[in-house]
Structure 1
Amino acid sequence: MSKVACIGAGRWGKNLIRCFHTLGALHAICDTDCSRLEELSRLYPGVRFTDCWYEVMEDREVKGVVIAAPSQTHFDIAMEALRAGKDVLVEKPMTLSTGDGERLVAEARSRKKVLMVGHVMRYHPAIDRIKLIMDSGQLGELYMIYSSRLNFGRFRKVENVLWSFAPHDISIVLYLAGAMPERFSAFGINKLTADIEDSVMVQLGFPNGIVAQLHLSWLHPYKEQKLIVVGKKGAIVFDGVCNKLELLPHDIVGVSGSLVGRKSEVTTIELPQVEPLLEECRHFLHCINTRTSPITDGHEGLRVLKVLESCQSLISKEGSNL
């Protein structure tokens, strides 16, 4: 079993640590908060602890480095890990610029190392099931993809809600649409911190006619994670909070010169009871051991970065005057 080191033991890092420990692959934990390391040492005896990530790079037992540190550090840590001969799983966003993302992809390619991005929702069984239904023609001509990721709290001071929330949704939308968007619209509102958008609306237009709408906010009273695909013959709805997938067939017919929508009976689709993050971690280990390219590899991370930058450019240009 290949061994990994987790750099960053905060809220999300602790989840990654738990998963890799469950899989028997956790070798080391690195965090600058020594009190946090002391707490984790009681949970994971026998694991190496350090507050210096350079020590991780020198550890020959570490084959993979998992990065869940603040996003502004992703590029530097990932680059050092690749140069040290480690395979890398870096949390989203991969970096904070396309240029840095391209450098990571080039470094990984030249050193023949795995570079994987933590777009965890791509490892949820609902997403592949939705893609199968779309490709089967069951929904007919595809019209819209709606995605909402809303919550209250955990307000960031470095990255806005677009960079914090949208990588998951953009990754999913690009996969389902099967292409890069060619038209963009984006608008953001900041109420709490200057130049840090709390709520963002994005529209993406694809060459095949699909239009995606994304709503992202950490200033919303209810937690909502929904993905909806609408076609001529029906819609499919995934509720990420309830972990529920439903197929809603419909017809759009002409009646007396007008278009009328007629709904049919809703079908609930059973999903395997798996933890997406555990599946993501398992996939990283598989890629290390088999030297295969991850589902969410550096190129996929780069495509997401390009969409993020295009949307951010529009938001920055438009500004918020509300």
Structure 2
Amino acid sequence: MKPRIAVLGCGYWGSNHIRTLKSLDVLSAVSDANRPRAEGFASEQDCRVVDPEDLFDDKEIDAVVMALPPQFHADYAIQAIAAGKDLLVEKPIALTVEDAERAVQAARKAKRVYMVGHVLRFHPAFETLKSLIDAGELGEVRYIHSHRLGLGKFHTENDALWDLAPHDLSMILAITGAAPIEVRGEGAALLDHLSDFAHLHMLFENGLRSHLFASRLNPYRERRLTVVGTKAMAVFDDVEPWGRKLAVYRHAVWQDSGQWAFTTNEPTYVPVEEGMPLTRELEHFIDCIETRSEPRTTGEEAIEVLRILTAGTVSHY
């Protein structure tokens, strides 16, 4: 019997969860503080509407996907866990490390699934990139940089760093397998007191360095993760078509008579299975519910993402 899943929060990203869960035949109900909005989705997807205050005690719901403003995630998550529900919580899972820890610890104690919506971990191109790294195809990873730029999505609570960077931080942490030992942030606020541009610089214990640039006030769209290894470099570019999303560059650099020399090579485009990351993420969530297994994107990893965001935040008040 498939799990019965409700979506709490019918905003932009919640609506994507609603439609995808319906396509997977596991959508049980929708819920939102704005009941007319929830009723619209319920009518469209032929499911029930449940008010937020009644959602967690509903015996016909096994799990909840939370896509709320992040300041509400922790308290609602704790209520859901106390009622025996499994959870997928969208990023950021809280606005403070302390709130995130409360929710994740509650899930551990109650033995409930607590999965985090770091959706790009389920992108086929990233999965393929990770397998190349694990197989040693790039050699020792020495540097990672990511650019996530675009125009829009202005929030009253989240700046560019908190809204955009969690995607890339989750991928960087998956590659490094460790938290950074140093984090330095830079930001610029043009519209109000929230950063519209943000840079993060990270140093890891093994000497690996990483740089992240996020912007919500950029004239063009860029979604690029670059990994530099001792054998090769790889680029995951999500703006490119499927056949060019993952490129490996086998450039050569060496020292000759005290001078550095190099040769460049054309990229090799690695075949990637096409698939929607959100669909794959939710299929993984369903599998975790059914098998009681640990999610790929855990609450502990999300807490580490929050620690990095907190350390790199620049105040403009």
Secondary structure, aligned partner of 1:110? helix
1:30-56 CA distance string (max 9 Å, x none): 1122332343233212x1113x21211
Which residue of 199, 209, 212 corresponds with 1:211? 209
Deviation at residue 101 of structure 1 after TM alignment: 1.0
Deviation at residue 141 of structure 1 after TM alignment: 3.2
- Aligned position for 2:44: 43
Secondary structure, aligned partner of 1:230? strand
Within a 5 Å distance, the mapping from 1:1-322 to structure 2 comes to 1-45=2-46, 47-50=47-50, 52-194=51-193, 196-242=194-240, 243=242, 244-312=245-313, 315-316=314-315
Q: Matched residues in 1 for 2:231 and 2:260: separation?
A: 14
The answer to whether the 8 A contact 1:287-1:293 is kept is yes
The answer to whether the 8 A contact 1:157-1:193 is kept is no
TM-score for both structures, normalised by structure 1: 0.94
Query: RMSD between aligned alpha carbons?
Result: 1.4
Deviation at residue 107 of structure 1 after TM alignment: 0.6
Q: Matched residues in 2 for 1:14 and 1:105: separation?
A: 25
Q: Matched residues in 1 for 2:207 and 2:136: separation?
A: 15
Secondary structure, aligned partner of 2:250? strand
Deviation at residue 256 of structure 1 after TM alignment: 4.2
Q: Matched residues in 2 for 1:305 and 1:154: separation?
A: 20
Q: Matched residues in 1 for 2:39 and 2:60: separation?
A: 22
Amino acid aligned to 2:49:
F
The answer to whether the 8 A contact 1:232-1:251 is kept is no
Secondary structure, aligned partner of 2:56? helix
Secondary structure, aligned partner of 1:171? helix
The answer to whether the 8 A contact 2:19-2:45 is kept is no
The answer to whether the 8 A contact 2:29-2:42 is kept is no
Q: How many residues align?
A: 313
Secondary structure, aligned partner of 2:284? helix
Deviation at residue 143 of structure 1 after TM alignment: 2.0
Q: Matched residues in 1 for 2:135 and 2:261: separation?
A: 25
Q: Matched residues in 2 for 1:62 and 1:261: separation?
A: 60
Q: Matched residues in 1 for 2:136 and 2:3: separation?
A: 41
Amino acid aligned to 1:48:
R
Structure 2: 5+ residue runs without aligned partners?
none
TM-score for both structures, normalised by structure 2: 0.95
